[in-house]
Amino acid sequence: MKFAIAVFSAAHAPSSRRALLFAQAALAGGHEIVRLFFYQDGVYNASASVVTPQDELDLPRQWHAFVSDHQLDGVVCIAAALRRGVLNEEEARRYQREAVAVGAPWELSGLGQLHDAAQDADRLICFGGA
């Protein structure tokens, strides 16, 4: 089965951890992930600027390793990222900001990427949000 996974909740939220566990189980079960899409506060899962307390799981680091290790398509909604200051190098330059919080393996792109992923997948699974 081919899955598209959308994560709407911040890195410290339980649903972000559930999304990662689901994604890991899907691959372990022989399924395919066509795209991971991070939207709303979910963009914080891709931010290198998030500092996790030592006694908690570092979900941004775990997401980064997971996407890198499996060479997955990890897309961060550009509009949601800009609103939250989660910028890649190009956007930091464009808006004359110092902080760069997103780099490889993440790609900043539009909401159309979620739509395309939903069309390509057998199932769209969403975690978090209202």
Q: Which residues are catalytic?
A: 77
Q: In what order do the strands lie in the sheet with 123-127?
A: 106-109, 74-77, 32-38, 2-7, 123-127
Select from 97, 5, 11 the least CA-distant residue to 47. 11
Task: Find the largest Cα–Cα distance for the chain.
Answer: 44
Q: Which of 53, 79, 66, 54 is nearest to 16 (CA)?
A: 66
